[in-house]
Structure 1
């Protein structure tokens, strides 16, 4: 069992919103930048909202049979990832409260084990988001390139199998990364997933939009075929928005990990480390923004939300 080692990947955010002491000392000694402090109540409120919003997405897909499709199942996977990121912060705060009130022995066996479990949730959230976005991109790619064969290629059984493999891999990887979080190779492999996902999705995007451009004139000449390509491209645009939000919310944290690992004593790096709480808040905000994107881009999902709030007696399809 781990005793004196904290998860370096996660402790950048720090328990109770505070960074590790060695990082704080380095930042203070090597830069004049003032540490930006975000109240813990803000983190907790954002996390609660994130859990509730993504739970609402899951309930909407479960209740409405019209949403029982591979695309929405992949969206549910992303919603679960966002929810785990919010749940991480909630459980972390609960552990802090128990420790501060004396119910948990500092650095005791139970706290260490619980700390590992909570850290695994955070890493699982990032890995789940990366692979969920990637599989959503692949799904959109198939709808554009193989629209007529889509339902034969991406069946419900195949979609569920893909998600099962993804989450099994993410769970194993998350546990491994927590155990070996003090090793530089772990940090490199953790952060390398970010650009790899970006390259994979960009390659699909380039191919998709080149195809759309080459077929633009054909689509115009076939009025009866306009609806399906537009619907497919709408899904690709939705993915673009989700990917953009994901990168904006998680990239600062990934950069933070790299700077802490490779140049913690550099004045410029230390200055960036002073805004680590802002980076942590951005991650929490990602879980709030994604469900809004789903509702804004999907009329069916938006309609389901309205029925859930306004028509409790409505018989779902």
Structure 2
């Protein structure tokens, strides 16, 4: 995030390649014996490019295959857009860092300040978009499992699009507001508290699912398509679990870094953790790479669509 210590930051960039989001912590590195872990810029750009390409393929597959024009796949597309924004955020940030090191950008120029705001907003938009996309996927799975017969009446395509429009409007407004007021402690706390709130909400859904599973199992078992429904619903719940686990593993270290640089930037122990910031940034990029693999592995329809795309065939797409 942006700080008022930009001149010292640029000076430090001549010694390290710390992304700008961690600049506030750079001043405490000299108070610890921990060596900063540096990830080569080529690694950043390669992982980011792969993540952008994979998620773009997911979007194209859903758009081209009308059989995938369902609420569930639109929610997956929302998560794919969030992952793409995360990859673009790290890519643009690293490009600015390189330009700063080469002397093409000024420490406190108007252009640099505006670009910093744009990059910060993109980061926040990516994180919030991922959180709310996962929440919608969780709610969609819940409705699918416990309101299977009424699912298509409850979660219509129009209603799903309205939900996504509301989510991204809120995320865009929040991203701009948080980027502007990122120096306020209350904003940082509100921003990071979304993590445990999301986890609690999804855990509550899971607990409720398990508590009602037995009673619903008897009702579903009486249906002719019970086996198919049970397999589909179980598979959807497992996919959601994988999404959630990957998201927490990849984003939690970065969010912890933001909290530490806000509350204890000069503490030696905090500084020691913040010395691995670039590793945490790499994990964000890995999230954008892993999610599309989960889509392709868990969804036969998407796998089939990818095969048709690569083989340049259009049969049975409509």
Tell me the equivalent position of 2:253: 252
Tell me the equivalent position of 1:27: 29
Q: Where do residues 163-202 of structure 1 align in structure 2 (5 Å cutoff)?
A: 163-202=164-203
Tell me the equivalent position of 2:109: 108
Tell me the equivalent position of 1:239: 240
Q: TM-score, normalised by structure 2?
A: 0.90
Given that 1:123 and 1:174 are in contact with CA atoms closer than 8 Å, whether structure 2 keeps it comes out as: yes
Q: Where do residues 119-268 of structure 1 align in structure 2 (5 Å cutoff)?
A: 119-216=120-217, 224-268=225-269
Supply the distance in 2 between the matched residues of 1:114 and 1:152 (Cα, whole angstroms): 44
Secondary structure at the residue paired with 1:148? helix
**Shift of the alpha carbon at 1:234?**
1.1
Q: Decide whether aligned partners of structure 1 residues 244 and 3 sit closer, same or farther in structure 2, where only a CA change above 3 A counts.
A: closer
Given that 1:17 and 1:40 are in contact with CA atoms closer than 8 Å, whether structure 2 keeps it comes out as: no
Tell me the equivalent position of 2:295: 294
Tell me the equivalent position of 1:310: 311
Query: Deviations 1:17-58 (Å, cap 9, x if unpaired)?
Result: 3465652331331x3222111111111111111110000000
Tell me the equivalent position of 2:77: 76
**Shift of the alpha carbon at 1:217?**
5.3
Query: Deviations 1:41-82 (Å, cap 9, x if unpaired)?
Result: 111111111110000000000010110000000000000000
Tell me the equivalent position of 2:50: 49
Q: TM-score, normalised by structure 1?
A: 0.90
Given that 2:19 and 2:94 are in contact with CA atoms closer than 8 Å, whether structure 1 keeps it comes out as: no
Unpaired segments ≥5 residues, structure 2: 7-15
Unpaired segments ≥5 residues, structure 1: 7-14
Q: Which moved more, 1:226-235 or 1:157-166?
A: 226-235
Q: Decide whether aligned partners of structure 1 residues 140 and 5 sit closer, same or farther in structure 2, where only a CA change above 3 A counts.
A: farther
Tell me the equivalent position of 1:63: 64
Secondary structure at the residue paired with 2:149? coil
Given that 1:3 and 1:112 are in contact with CA atoms closer than 8 Å, whether structure 2 keeps it comes out as: no
Secondary structure at the residue paired with 2:35? coil
Supply the distance in 1 between the matched residues of 2:199 and 2:244 (Cα, whole angstroms): 9
Secondary structure at the residue paired with 2:230? helix
Supply the distance in 1 between the matched residues of 2:88 and 2:315 (Cα, whole angstroms): 31
Give the paired residue count.
Answer: 307
